[in-house]
Structure 1
Amino acid sequence: MWPVTTDVTADEATDQDAIQGMVDAFFGAFVSGPGCAERMDLLRGLLLPQAVVVRTCGLEPAVMGVEEFIAPREALLTDGSLTDFREWPVEGRIEVFGDIAHWFGAYAKAGTQAGEPFTGRGMKTIQLVRTPGGWRISAAAWDDERDGLTLPTDAD
């Protein structure tokens, strides 16, 4: 494990705050109900146009570009089949080196689909790069809990 430093400069604290804000906004985009189009536009602004998003979840990895990722989720969040849905970060860590950073952590989700309430948890990794316009997400990947795969005990 890499050593963790506790002496954080003002610039590093600013980076950490900016990145945590982006992580919170990323998860906050996935909420059913009014304002979905605005949240998806915000999500597009968080991502580099060339960003790559990968879903694993025990399946063949699905590698998506920005619109391939957003469009089906926006449809699902607005077509009425998924209600009371939201995702949120549970526990994560941010590491920054110069103009690159990543957030790795646990997340949870809950909602009602086709009239059936559900919950779920998983892990996500979000990679970021510093651009002239500020931090942007360059890549994200996730895997969800399933039979034989549960969150680490320190991720609750």
Structure 2
Amino acid sequence: MRSDDQTAIENVVRTFFAAFTSGGPEVKRRLDALREAFVPEAVIVRTCGMEPAIYGVDEFIAPRETLLTSGTLVDFKEWPVDGRVEVFGDIAHWFGSYAKEGVQDGKPFTGRGMKTIQFIRTPEGWRISAAAWDDERPGLTIEDH
């Protein structure tokens, strides 16, 4: 049986992934919902076998909004595949795999990776305090279960 906290956190995870869908008039609404899902001081990190890129909330969202609305990335979506929530008091995290697909500059692509999302309980509810991700690449793959 899921706790109310787990359900609330899973809803925030859905909001996070739903934001990364290209096109349509709903992009801005989904990205605004994503912005509200973070605490203002949250840290977001991309690794992916490169020098880690560390973003604040607006630094993270702004270029993705351009990419999702510019028309160079179409039919894009990202979704959680498998993950787990752990809660202790007023802290929690989601760790899981995700997949993505789309067409960028006319070329179809797919990908998979792992994300970790940390949460804190605030007076407004559960909010993301940090997130980080790493994608599959030669030598690093997600074992299929």
The TM-score, its normalising length taken from structure 1, stands at 0.90
Partner SS for 1:106: strand
- Counterpart in the other structure of 1:24: 14
Select the residue among 99, 114, 122 that pairs with 2:105: 114
**Larger Rg belongs to:** 1
Deviation at 1:152, TM superposition (A): 2.6
Partner SS for 2:140: coil
Partner SS for 1:25: helix
Deviation at 1:89, TM superposition (A): 0.1
- Counterpart in the other structure of 2:139: 148
Partner SS for 1:151: coil
Select the residue among 27, 45, 55 that pairs with 1:64: 55
| d(CA) in 2 for partners of 1:145, 1:62 | 17
Counterpart amino acid of 2:15? Answer: A
When the two chains are superposed, the root-mean-square deviation of aligned CA atoms in Å is 0.9
Counterpart amino acid of 2:52? Answer: P
Counterpart amino acid of 1:139? Answer: A
Counterpart amino acid of 2:16? Answer: F
Report Cα offsets for 1:13-52 as digits up to 9, x if no partner: 1000000010011000000011111111000000000000
Deviation at 1:149, TM superposition (A): 0.3
Q: How many residues are paired up?
A: 144
> Pairwise mapping of residues 38-117 of structure 1 onto structure 2 (< 5 A)?
38-117=29-108
Unaligned runs of 5+ in 1: 1-7
| d(CA) in 2 for partners of 1:148, 1:69 | 27
Deviation at 1:153, TM superposition (A): 2.7
Counterpart amino acid of 1:18? Answer: A
Counterpart amino acid of 2:10? Answer: Q
Partner SS for 2:51: coil
Percent sequence identity is: 66
The TM-score, its normalising length taken from structure 2, stands at 0.97
Runs of 4+ in 1 over 2 A off after TM superposition: none
- Counterpart in the other structure of 1:137: 128
Select the residue among 14, 30, 33 that pairs with 2:4: 14
Counterpart amino acid of 1:29? Answer: A
